[in-house]
Structure 1
Amino acid sequence: MRIIILIACFVPLIGWAQVGGQLGYQSLNLTSNARAAALGGTAISLADGDISQFFENPAILDSVGAKNIFIQINPYFADISVYSGAYSFEVGSLGVFAAGLNYVNYGSFEMTDEFGNDLGTFQAQDYTFQIGKAHTVGPFTLGASLKVAHSSIDTYGSTAILMDIGGVFRIRNNWSVSMVFENMGATISDFTTLESPSIPFDVKLGTSFKPQYMPLRFTITTTNLVNENFALEEGDGGRSNKSVDKVLKRLNFGTEVLLSKNFQLLVGYNHKRKQELRLENIGGGAGFSYGIMVQIKRIELRFSRATFHSAGGTSFISLRTDFNDFKKIL
């Protein structure tokens, strides 16, 4: 526990130096689980035993037992495929840890010389491996996740060492508040020696609550808390310069309809995504998302759909289970 506290005190100082650009390691901003995707793109305060939320906030691991497994496939745009997986395991008296992997396959590209002559093909991929641990004292849980991010294009590569620090405070059984310092760290090797890519450091704050007599759970998550004015987006047309709109672009909204333990519906809204990707005179559904959860015996299946543009969106398909329950399943 003392190690996690020391990390939480000193590592954020590294992260503040990374606020500058938004050009490097953008795969770190992709949603890594179907539940968060359906709730507007991110949800850091759902600490209810779902190991897939480990990608959102390492502090949720206090609610996850050993031998939980999660896998997901996300067919992205332009033949890009995103795969995610996580597994929890116990390490003696240290308790439960979790390890996760995100893999982005950008596919094959034609390679040519400066004269346009065909030289074959090359590939591009991004990998992010992380391992995390959480510790609880009373109603407060602190978690940390160490991450290694690697991006490769043909024979060139870039690697960064990063960390997420998160906390969960349980006000009541059905009400939690969370905060995450995300992607703190630095690049240790780069594609070239000319310029290192910026890392998408962010601070998020969120809450989840369920009214006592309603089959609904609401989630609100703030993002981009270290980005003061969204200067890059405001430069293009001035469509989103109103003060209220600037606030809404930092908020993600999600609702889970808890029809039963084995069946749930989810809906979400991301205002920033809508403003960035809608057409001039029509939104086309941009910013809205939805999903479904079905549990069959001990296996939880999820399907989510996030709309990015009037031309369409992207789907998330995931499976989660507990190896300890396999004998019960069979």
Structure 2
Amino acid sequence: MLKKLLFVFLFFFCSVSYSQIGGKYTYQFLNLITSPRQAALGGKTITIYDDDVNQAHFNPATINADMDNHLALNYGSYFKEVTYGTASYAYTYDRHLQTFQAGVNYVNYGNFDGYDENGQATSSFSGSEIALSLGYSYNIPNTDIHIGANAKLISSNLESYSSLGGAIDIGALFIDERNDVNWGLVIRNIGTQFTTYSGTNEKLPLEIIAGVSQELENVPIRWHLTLENLQQWNIAFSNPVRAENSIDGNTDEEKISFVNNALRHVIFGAELFPKKAFNLRVGYNFRRAEELKILEQRNFSGVSLGFGLKLNKLKFNYSYSRYTLAGNTSLFGLTINFQE
């Protein structure tokens, strides 16, 4: 019954939206992949249910008592100029109230040289954004269904403009212990601006994500399948570089097929030895691969790799994500278990 309800819910949201994503919303930094484990698996994985306190950022329903007294710190450089990082901590007050999680997510865009309309140099300026979050989850009694929510306070400063906003994430997770399958659904960034940059209220990057993962019975692998941007169907655009010139001199835009557009919603990842002290991870983001691929040249855009290594109370995570020949990203993370 639950699977049928999820299908109807997702079908409704996918059917009513046909616009492209990107360039339409404010606070886009909220969708940055914030942990090395997430990045290595392709991003936006919402079905991991273990002691990884980073998971609360993309699905608050994954908050659980195994995260108690865990602190995670992550740092990355986005194409060298932009730096961003996160911190996440979980605490179990008691077994009846379940577990609370607090986090911070920031991005620093660096310094820019300012010029006026005549090309004359003015003063330099910078930009940064930060979000503070508080999350909570609840296991519905006598069921394998977990629900959770994040509340976020968002602050943005870009040159002389600033904005303050708020948002919530709502998530659900169904754990099928018999088959070791997890099903997840999240609605992220439901919110508004409290104060605007210049008097115009802008929308937040609302997103609906669904996912499923399973640990294989006789092989130490857990695979993850994520469907992103389910709030709108058409997320593809015609790349002008791939346009074709016809005999009559007209230019025919690239045609995006149904299958091509459908695959751009898909992210696939796999984790080898998911419950051991050393893990290997690989992921593939179909939308990133399609949007950043180069004609007649293989550049492996969309591929991501990573590993995790646990040493007593510490766990170190690293990921490498392929974007273009000129720009790729690495994420570093450290998780400290104060319980042990």
Q: What is the alpha-carbon distance in structure 1 between the residues aligned to residue 181 and residue 93 of structure 2?
A: 30
| Residue 110 of structure 1 pairs with residue 125 of structure 2 | no
Q: What is the alpha-carbon distance in structure 1 between the residues aligned to residue 137 and residue 97 of structure 2?
A: 10
| Residue 141 of structure 1 pairs with residue 146 of structure 2 | yes
Tell me the equivalent position of 1:153: 158
Of 268, 271, 275, the residue aligned with 1:253 is 268
Of 124, 131, 134, the residue aligned with 1:131 is 134
Q: Once the 2 structures are TM-superposed, how far is the Cα of residue 181 of structure 1 from its aligned partner?
A: 0.5
Q: Give per-residue Cα distances to partners, 1:245-266, cap 9 Å, x unaligned.
A: 1111101000001187111110
User: What residue ranges of structure 2 are gaps of 5+ in the alignment?
Assistant: 1-12, 244-252
Q: Once the 2 structures are TM-superposed, how far is the Cα of residue 120 of structure 1 from its aligned partner?
A: 2.5
| Residue 26 of structure 1 pairs with residue 32 of structure 2 | no
Tell me the equivalent position of 1:191: 197
Q: Once the 2 structures are TM-superposed, how far is the Cα of residue 78 of structure 1 from its aligned partner?
A: 4.2
Tell me the equivalent position of 1:180: 186
Tell me the equivalent position of 1:4: none
Query: Which secondary structure does the structure 1 equivalent of 2:136 belong to?
Result: strand
Q: Give the 3 Å change call, closer, same or farther, for CA 131–240 of structure 1 in structure 2.
A: farther
Aligned pairs for 1:36-55 within 5 A: 36-55=38-57
Q: Once the 2 structures are TM-superposed, how far is the Cα of residue 117 of structure 1 from its aligned partner?
A: 3.5
Tell me the equivalent position of 2:248: none
Counterpart of 1:136, as a letter, is N
Of 291, 301, 305, the residue aligned with 2:316 is 301
Tell me the equivalent position of 1:226: 231
Q: Once the 2 structures are TM-superposed, how far is the Cα of residue 24 of structure 1 from its aligned partner?
A: 1.8
Query: Which secondary structure does the structure 2 equivalent of 1:177 belong to?
Result: strand
Size of the alignment, in residue pairs? Answer: 308
Kept after mapping to 1: 8 A contact 2:222/2:274 = no
Q: Once the 2 structures are TM-superposed, how far is the Cα of residue 309 of structure 1 from its aligned partner?
A: 1.1
Q: Give per-residue Cα distances to partners, 1:202-225, cap 9 Å, x unaligned.
A: 111001101111111000000011
Normalised by the size of structure 1, how large is the TM-score?
Answer: 0.87
Kept after mapping to 2: 8 A contact 1:64/1:88 = no
Q: Give per-residue Cα distances to partners, 1:222-254, cap 9 Å, x unaligned.
A: 0011112125x2364455611111111101000
Tell me the equivalent position of 1:96: 99
Q: Give per-residue Cα distances to partners, 1:179-202, cap 9 Å, x unaligned.
A: 001111112211111x32321111
Kept after mapping to 2: 8 A contact 1:51/1:69 = yes
Aligned pairs for 1:36-75 within 5 A: 36-75=38-77
User: What residue ranges of structure 1 are gaps of 5+ in the alignment?
Assistant: 1-12, 326-330
